[in-house]
């Protein structure tokens, strides 16, 4: 069974997802970081494919993406690295990338590689769910890949319901209408209350601007989980060589 599906079957609240950019801070750090996150019982690991033109990304993600590209990270290298650790990691891994990159690589080849290297799901923020449903759904299913779509405070109620139906992984709830990487949380509480009252039927997690235990607990009031990206990358940036220790103490601070 797909690991993401398996996770949601036995745990559907108080989830934590951590996002990390592949190839950051150094080209060979990603396998080590993934193992550390898993060892510290992170529920889902989101791995970002570095990209030169990231639409939704704030300064922290952009900076890590640029560094990772300068380090030489490519999709081929990432798949090789994921392959090398897949037996050791029990948490589901979700890849985050842009639709363009994936289409350039070749969608079927990409999905094939995802399955072979232990990836369970995908977040392609610029892939419209209409296109997914009309053109790609069968292929994602063939390679056992769950798909996540984003909703923001600007998404209409009708679309939210359609996205909930189209999602096979989890719905990504963007906490406010800002880019990623805010250093303080900025929950749009009216939006979150509204989502709660809509009663999404798929697992859903909140991301954007989450960094502390308090932020995480607040997210858990509205959704199954919290997603942390930039705050974690700032921890890596300040780790001064001791990545394992830095990861452990940050995760401890969230619990
Ligand atoms: O960095 P933040 O504010 O903690 O938010 C998570 C986010 O970075 C991560 O999930 C992500 C990275 N790039 C994205 C692009 C679109 C949506 C989400 C993302």
Considering the chain, what is the average pLDDT of its residues?
95
- Does 181 score more than 80 pLDDT? no
Which tokens belong to 212?
């502390």
The conformation of residue 114, written as its DSSP 8-state character, comes to H
**178 band by pLDDT with thresholds 50, 70 and 90:** low
The ligand 1 atom at the shortest distance from the C-alpha of residue 181 is 3
Round to whole Å and give the CA distance between 92 and 129: 22
pLDDT of residue 58: 85
CA-nearest of 236, 222, 227 to 254 is: 227
Q: What is the mean pLDDT of residues 120-134?
A: 96
CB-CB neighbours of 30 under 10 Å? 23
pTM for the structure as a whole: 0.96
The ligand 1 atom at the shortest distance from the C-alpha of residue 230 is 1
Alpha carbon of residue 81 to chain centroid: 18
pLDDT of residue 57: 80
Residues 53-75 have pLDDT tens digits of: 877 788 899 999 999 999 999 99
Active site residue 43: no
pLDDT of residue 101: 93
Q: Is 180 in the pocket of ligand 1 (CB under 6 A)?
A: yes
pLDDT of residue 89: 98
- Is residue 144 within 8 Å of 170, Cβ to Cβ? no
Residue 37, classified by CB atoms within 10 Å of its CB into exposed (0-12), middle (13-18) or buried (19+), is buried
- Does 212 score more than 90 pLDDT? yes
Interface predicted TM-score (ipTM) over 0.85: yes
pLDDT of residue 177: 67
CATH class of the domain defined by 12-254: alpha beta
What is the distance in A from the centroid of ligand 1 to the CA of 187? 15
130 preceded by cis ω (within 30°)? no
Kindly give, in sequence order, each residue whose CB lies less than 8 Å from that of residue 63, ignoring residues fewer than 6 positions away.
Answer: none
- Is residue 226 within 8 Å of 254, Cβ to Cβ? no
* Host H or E run for residue 21: strand 15-21
What is the distance in A from the centroid of ligand 1 to the CA of 179? 8
């Amino acid at each position: 069974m797909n690991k993401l599906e398996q996770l949601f079957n036995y745990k559907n609240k108080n989830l934590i997802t951590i996002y990390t950019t592949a190839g950051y801070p150094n080209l060979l750090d990603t396998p080590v970081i993934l193992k550390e996150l898993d060892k510290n019982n992170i529920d889902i690991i989101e791995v970002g494919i570095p990209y030169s033109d990231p639409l939704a990304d704030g300064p922290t993600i952009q900076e890590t993406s640029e560094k990772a590209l300068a380090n030489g990270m490519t999709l081929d290298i990432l798949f090789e690295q994921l392959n090398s650790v897949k037996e050791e990691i029990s948490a589901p891994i979700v890849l985050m990338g842009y639709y363009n990159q994936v289409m350039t690589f070749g969608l079927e080849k990409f999905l094939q590689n995802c399955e072979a290297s232990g990836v369970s799901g995908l977040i392609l923020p610029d892939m419209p769910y209409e296109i997914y449903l009309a053109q790609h759904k069968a292929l994602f299913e063939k390679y056992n890949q769950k798909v996540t779509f984003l909703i923001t405070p600007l998404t209409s109620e009708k679309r939210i319901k359609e996205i909930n139906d189209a999602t096979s992984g989890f719905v990504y709830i963007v906490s406010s209408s800002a880019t990623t990487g805010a250093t303080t949380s900025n929950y749009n509480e009216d939006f979150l209350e509204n989502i709660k009252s809509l009663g999404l039927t798929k697992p859903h997690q909140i991301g954007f601007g989450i960094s502390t235990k308090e932020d995480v607990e607040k997210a858990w009031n509205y959704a199954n989980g919290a997603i942390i990206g930039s705050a974690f990358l700032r921890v890596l940036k300040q780790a001064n060589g001791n990545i394992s220790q830095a990861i452990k103490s940050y995760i401890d601070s969230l619990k």
